[in-house]
Amino acid sequence: MLEGKFGLEKESLRVTTKGFLAHTKHPFVNNPNIERDFCENQVEIITDVSDSVEQAWEQLAKFQKHVVDTLQHQKSGKELLWPFSNPPYVLGESDIPIASYQAKFHGKRLYREYLATKYGKKKMLFSGIHFNFSFSEAFLTAAYSQSEFSTMREFKDRIYLELAKKVTIYSWLIVYLTAASPVMDGSFFSEKEIGKSVEKDLASPRCSNIGYWNDFDIILQYDSLQSYIESIESYVENGQLKEPAELYYPVRLKPAGENTLERLKENGVNHIELRMLDLNPLESVGICKKDLHFLHLFLIYLLSLEDEVFWPFEQVMAIKNEKNAAKYDDKKIWIETGWNSSMPIRHAALQVLSSLERFYAGLGEFQLVKIIQEQEQKVLFPEMRYAVQVKSLFQDNYVRRGLALAEEYAKQLGETI
């Protein structure tokens, strides 16, 4: 049960030594592990599939070391890998270079231009980490043998559909425990936005109401993989989405290989992707191994919970909860727990974490209980929350201190500066 496959995708901005967005071309052409996201200067490191959290983390560190070393020796001048989810100085929309895809990949460029027009470029600068996970085949085979499903494919799809529902419901907890982006440079906001009552007291802007979301409530069908896919396709057919990739949601179900609905429909679910993790600037690689271990344990625990219908109002409520959990002052955050019922986020978090502890204690896995207790410390002692620590360290001279941190992490990765 504790085995599985793991993969990480990490987005980071390339910046100049003065703290401005880099305008050089992507220097990692033809490297499938180092891609671009929306922007030409937004590096996306994609690990291979690993057999453990440690292995995935080590590979992320290896690729980041290569990225940092390359940026140190750019012919056009040294660049740095920005360690925060929020960007440094932004000189307006024109300062954000859309990823330059040519020839047969020109469609990617056109799609990004569409996104820029619809959502604005600034939100595309938010960077984060995606956590990919699949259960081991041995575990799935053993569980299937005790099920009433007629085929392994049907059983496997059902497992991941259930898990996707539960992760979405509890996405607020993951955001609350990992949010690490409470500081933003004022240049991110336009004069109009500064004059408006834009929410700025945030622990994770990218997961908040000012983050990268669709402009309508997403309602998905979880009765079967077919209905799940059709519910996504319906938004494309009625023009609310240009293509399925435009669905911005905290969880995705993905096939093996190229991520398309056609492959998902043909081959079924291969793994689940969690998309709500901030870059943690307190870690040189941007993510703490302990948090990755916790996510793994949390997914196993969620699978053990009884499956329930995920009603449309609950789906809307789940996203609202995630956005609320992205706020900074947790004394004012309330989590909706049902129709006209809610509770303070600290109480809600401790309830879930206590249930997690009992689950693993009941299995006799007391070493794993310690991993969960470390997460509880963030709730019991708010000063241990990443967002609180980051705000204390970087709220003054955010960009200058961020650049110093980027230089320090480059040194830690073994590079000469």
To the nearest whole number, what is the mean pLDDT of the chain?
Answer: 94
Residues 277-295, mean pLDDT to the nearest whole number: 97
pLDDT per residue over 253-271, tens digit each? 999 999 999 999 999 999 9
pLDDT per residue over 58-84, tens digit each? 999 999 999 999 999 999 999 999 999
Confidence check: pLDDT of 195 > 50: no
Locate the domains of the chain by residue range: 4-342+382-412
Confidence check: pLDDT of 104 > 90: no
Q: Grade residue 294 by pLDDT with cuts at 50, 70 and 90.
A: very high
Domain 4-342+382-412 has CATH 3.30.590.20: yes
Cβ count near 62 (within 10 Å): 15
Residues 6+ away with beta carbon under 8 Å from 363: none
pTM: 0.96
Residues 388-411, mean pLDDT to the nearest whole number: 96
Task: Report the C-alpha gap between 49 and 58 in whole angstroms.
Answer: 12
pLDDT per residue over 139-175, tens digit each? 999 999 999 999 999 999 999 999 999 999 999 999 9
Cα–Cα separations (whole angstroms), residue 296 to 39, 274, 327, 356:
30, 11, 25, 12
Confidence check: pLDDT of 244 > 70: yes
- Taking only Cα atoms into account, the Rg of the chain, rounded to an integer number of angstroms, comes to 21
Percent of the chain with pLDDT over 70: 97
Residue 202, beta-bridge partner list: 327
Q: Grade residue 192 by pLDDT with cuts at 50, 70 and 90.
A: low
b/e 311-326 (16+ beta carbons within 10 angstroms → b) = eeebbebbbebbbbbb
